[in-house]
Chains A and B, each alone.
Chain A
Amino acid sequence: MDVILFTAFNGLLYGMLLFMLSSGLTLIFGMMGVLNFAHASFFMLGAYFAYQISKYIGFVPALFIAPLIIGFLGAMVEKYALRRVHKFGHVAELLFTFGLFYIIEELVQMIWGKVPVGYHVPEYLDFTLFSMSGMGYQAYAMFTLIISIAMFVALFSVLTKTRAGLIIQAALTHPHIVASLGHNVPKVFMLVFGLGCALAGLAGVLAGNTLGTEPSMAFSLGPIVFVVIVVGGLGSIKGALVASILIGILQTTAISLDLSINNFIELIGFTVDIESLWHILIDLTISQIAPILPYLLLVLMLIIRPRGLFGNRDV
């Protein structure tokens, strides 16, 4: 029981981190069809801005100010660059965000240098809240968990319960009709892009101090967020949440299992020659392949259900 509870809880913690990272991306992709390669860069900017702001006026103001600045930056990127590129089609957009990724990385290196910066968890959240199975849980981890749940609830209700959300959803599928009804569709897109970037920024503020704030963080986080949004279904916030937690629990469970195919083979009474190539393969434990499981899930999902768990159109 203890083990199950523990795995579920750790998986949830990790899953919510993934959700924060990917919710903005799925929103942007779902609404605008833009596969934003620079999404993780906005996440990185969030961490760096939070570092800079918290150095002067503290962590709590940084929590609000950094995502706002990044949201504004994102909106400007959409208004002055992406919108112009948009008319040349998806490939141009893709290449644009790809270039943006490198530009942001270089800018960050120019401003903050190439070594990690000292962005740390604030003192008043840096204590052990409770222990489970001999492991202490930091108050900051709980804080992150609460914020991310709040983020999901807020995002979900805005999109489904408010008028603005209604317009956003309508603009997604029927932009021309929404425009003829007198709504400013480009402005809606700009706001959605800004909001998506702000969410990535918020994730950066919250995760930068535990993951380490350095110029390569965007690069190393890039792939996993795409897995989440494809598995969850493009554009679905609910899907992103379920996929994040699923991947979180899957990975946490897998890491704790030191079982290999060889164990099963030995269990039924066979042995495989240690020297053979097969041995290397079947001797891999589940914990060793844990980090590739999300990608395996991605491939399986694309084969079996290309629209993802909650998506309503194919990739």
Chain B
Amino acid sequence: MLTNFIKIILLSITLLSFSCTEKEKDTIKIAVIEPMSGPVASIGLDLIEGLEFHAKRINEAGGVLGGRLIEIIAYDNAMMAEKTIQQLRKVIDQEIRYVSQGVGSNHALNIIKTLGKHNERNPGKEILFLNHSAVTTSFTNELCNFYHFRFDANVDMKVAALISQMNKDPNIKKVYLLNQNYAYGQSFQAAARRLLAERAPQIEIVGDELIVPFGKILDFNPYVAKITASGADTILTGNWGADAARLITATANSQLKVNFYTIYAGIPAAMNSMGVKISTFNPIIQVTESHENDASQPDWLKKIEADYTAYSNKSPYADRQRFMMDMFAEAIEKAGSADPTAVGFALEGMTTKGPHGEAYMRAEDHQMHFDMVISHISTDVEKTFTYNGEDYGMAYVTDGWVDAKNITLPTTCKMKRPKS
């Protein structure tokens, strides 16, 4: 009896592994390393779902190279940098040739460094890194690498976009910088200081603060008091998560009227945690590549986003996963093979349909360039944001567009290219 049972199990395992290898031969695999457990798991899981949706969309339209399918394989790093490396080793062992990641620049840095060595030592087995959201500027400057492509705007570009919007508001005279004291927050701070001096000399920096990051600060009242005392009319901050939500909540609770210019303070999860009253007490202005209520959004994108909502039961938040996957598929077609080096050359300088005009991958440093939209949170919107069926009762309203030209910054990248 028992032996029979074991036989059946063994047989089914063998059959299962056969069927897997049969399928795997054909697919082009992308290993996605993101947090699927731990405190920021929701962000990782949503991103993976997004990438899976776009892979499915491309596959249903016929795949690439006459019928080969793209497969997303998710790996959990639990938001721990050493786990990212462990998972990456697994990816290398399994001979997967594409890696994608985006949550946390420290993780991206680990991938860039590990792959840098791997690619140098294993010619013919190179792995290409599709970075969809890790924004530390140095990845496309001094740390640039042929096998790294970034599909999100970097911190400097996002800050440049925010500052060009601030320039349009003559009421902004005094700005307070408040950032998290780690790599990302520091690079936000440096970019803000430099670009404010260059592009908006009329705006005075009345405060410049680095705080202990990741929800360690419970009470933001003393910071709000400092901001009040400084007479600032605008807070320019890269804060995200609890560090952003608590700052904005404390500001609203003490009735301080300021503008918030942010990158991530308005992300959907933060919106819901703050609630309508706090999210709309002060203008929370953010910069993204697109949003659902923007009037200029093309119909074909509306269609894709509607499909995404039907697939995931969530409103769309970003467009970069969409154009990253589209460009990846197109690059494979253009190269005529799924070899990372050939695909890399095909991606260089490639243009694609962006949410607002054309978007292009700069060949020099592998940094994507596109127009960016400035929006703020409002209840007065056509479509409110929904997440797993829960209606947040608010969404974004466009304040203006920043032309890709205005956020194109020089690069210090000196890239070593493989021989093609």
Contacts and interface: CB of A to CB of B under 8 A. Distances in A.
Secondary structure of the B contact surface, majority rule: helix
Interface in B203-230: 209-212, 214-219, 221-226, 228-229
A95 B214 CA distance: 25
Pick the most buried of A140, A224, A291: most chain B CB atoms within 10 A of its CB.
Answer: A291
B273 A137 contact: no
A120 B217 CA distance: 19
A214 B242 contact: yes
Contact of B253 (A116, A136, A255): A136
Given A133-B225, A210-B253, A256-B226, A116 B272 contact: yes
Interface string A1-35: 00000110010011001100000000000000000
B253 A134 contact: no
Given A6-B225, A220-B242, A118 B216 contact: no
A2 B107 CA distance: 46
Contacts of A7: 222
Nearest to B211: A291
B275 interface: yes
Contacts of A291: 211-212, 216-217
Interface stretch (A64-72, A107-115, A145-153, A272-280): A107-115
A288 interface: yes
A136 B255 contact: yes
Given A109-B41, A216-B39, A220-B216, A255 B226 contact: yes
Contact of A134 (B218, B223, B229): B229
A132 to B, nearest CB: 9
B4 interface: no
Contacts, number: 119
A220 B254 contact: no
B45 A135 contact: no
B255 A118 contact: no
Given A10-B222, A252-B221, A252-B222, A213 B273 contact: yes
A200 interface: no
B245 interface: yes
Contacts of A216: 38-40, 215, 242
A287 B209 contact: yes
Interface in A121-167: 126, 128, 131, 133-138, 140-141
Nearest to A106: B37
How many interface residues does chain A have, given as a range? 35 or more
A241 to B, nearest CB: 17
Contact of B39 (A211, A219, A248): A219
A117 interface: yes
Pick the most buried of A128, A212, A220, A224: most chain B CB atoms within 10 A of its CB.
Answer: A212
Contacts of A217: 215, 242
A14 B219 contact: yes
Interface in A195-250: 210-217, 219-221, 224, 248
Given A13-B219, A114-B45, A211-B246, A256 B225 contact: yes
B269 A118 contact: no
Interface string B226-253: 1011000000000000100110010001
B114 interface: no
Contacts of A116: 245, 269-270, 272-273
Nearest to B222: A255
A135 B228 contact: yes
Contacts of A141: 253
Contact of B277 (A126, A255, A292): A126
A120 B275 contact: yes
Given A115-B272, A136-B255, 8 more contacts: A14-B218, A14-B219, A17-B219, A115-B273, A118-B275, A120-B277, A251-B219, A255-B226
Top-4 shortest CB links A-B: A216-B39, A116-B273, A114-B42, A136-B255
10 contacts: A17-B219, A113-B42, A113-B388, A115-B269, A120-B277, A128-B255, A133-B229, A210-B246, A212-B249, A216-B38
